[in-house]
Amino acid sequence: MINKIKYKKYLSYIMCFTLIFTAYVLFIEITGGLDKEYNISIGDNYTLNQRFPLFLSTSDTGLNSIIQIEKLNQRRLNLNKSFHLKTVDKGTTNFQLKVFGLVPYRNIRVNVVPQIEVIPGGHSIGVRLNTKGVLVVGTAQITDKNGNVYNLAETAGIKIGDSLIAINNIKVNNAEHVGNLIQNSRGEALNLTLKRDTKEYSISIEPVQSLEDQQYRLGLWVRDKTAGVGTMTFNHPETNKFGALGHAITDIDTGNILSIKNGEVIKSRVVSIQQGKRGKPGEIRGIFYDVNEPLGKLEKNTDYGVYGELINVLDNEIYNKPIPIAYQHEINEGPAHILTTVDTNRIEKYEIEITRINPQARVDSKSMIIKVTDKELLEKTGGIVQGMSGSPIIQNEKLVGAVTHVLINDPTKGYGIFIEWMIEESGIFDKKYKNVVEN
């Protein structure tokens, strides 16, 4: 009986210790634990700070050819150690974080990558794009000459947001082309190829001749073009690739990301600003000009920005030479600035503060929270407004990210995306091979 009581007592001690230890390790993770992966540019150095009871070790025999490790001088009684990593050559090495240096806890990958330098943007740009196929933005009932009412789209299961890709295996070019193919059917069944999200499907529909105008109809409202104003984020002189907006171009009615067939980035001039207020985002209104001389062609429209290739030179008076990009572990909470174009129609520098950084293992547009602190910009716009998306964020003379969204309840604040995600999306950097893609 006594042994059983002692057993329970010791077991409770072990459980209590385990809980305290787990809570402490969790505290380390929350207050400054090591990330799972680091990209460090050749020529840059970085310090890894291990915290008791988690210790770093490595068994990589090729480590010294990639990174040289220097232990920083510290007091003997300090159980937390720092290791200064000096980059030597491109490559990848692995460290292991162990509890008390014995029990494996986490693998940490360090990639030494070529330094990427880009020219920051800040230019007000117009974006025009044509979609692949046409986008279904609405459906309608059709009444025939006998007074019968049809809702062909609803009956066939077509939904708003679907893309109409082809009719009778003929790829549709635009809304007018769709209308012509329907009229030419003379009421015979049409085989439609549509796309919903990433999946294609086919259906057969017989057009109905409308009582209103005797035209054959399917009861679909479709759109094939869109245009808007945003901000250029960067361009890469070596490849002429660019990134802008920091978020996707979506259809105004459906909210769906538009699939690009082709498109252009053109010059834009700010004509007015609607100030942002709590609960009501503001807006920069612009007009396009020199439309026959596009700045570049669009190639990708993603959740994390639009990307393509420049055709004409894009000057930046503030940064006329490339500057390095910063990876997320190099970014600090504190002062920074953005480049954007407002009422002067010139790129201007405005002060902000990075108030929160969200470490990310995979691409996401809400990488950090920023706050506009520049009095001049606050007077002009009230903070972050629509049209400023894509404005480059610069800290310590490195491009760290881009503005993506405003916080509706506080227009002085908004989200930013890490620039490393935009660089990967643009195709400049090959994530798999950790290298700059050759032009």
- DSSP labels, 156-179: HT--TT-EEEEETTEEP-SHHHHH
One of 124, 374, 405, 426 is an active-site residue; which one?
374
Q: Which of 372, 414, 409 shows the shortest CA–CA distance to 279? A: 409
Residue type, 238: E
Residues 220 and 158 sit within 8 Å (Cβ to Cβ):
yes
Q: Which of 401, 373, 376, 371 shows the shortest CA–CA distance to 389? A: 401
Cis peptide leading into residue 53 (ω within 30°): yes
Is 236 a known active-site residue?
Answer: no
Say how far apart CA 44 and CA 200 lie, in whole Å: 47
Is 329 a known active-site residue?
Answer: no
Phi-psi label, residue 305: left if phi above 0, alpha if psi -120 to 50, beta otherwise: left
Residues 246 and 389 sit within 8 Å (Cβ to Cβ):
yes
One of 236, 247, 337, 405 is an active-site residue; which one?
247
Q: Which helix (H) or strand (E) holds 181?
A: helix 175-184
Is 315 a known active-site residue?
Answer: no
Residue type, 139: T
One of 367, 389, 391, 426 is an active-site residue; which one?
389
Q: Cα–chain-centroid distance for residue 9?
A: 53
End-to-end CA, the chain: 78
Output the CA angle 401-406-409, nearest 5 degrees: 145
Quick one: 194 exposed, middle or buried, by C-beta within 10 A (0-12, 13-18, 19+)?
A: buried
Beta bridge partners of residue 230, listed in sequence order = 125
Catalytic positions: 247, 374, 389
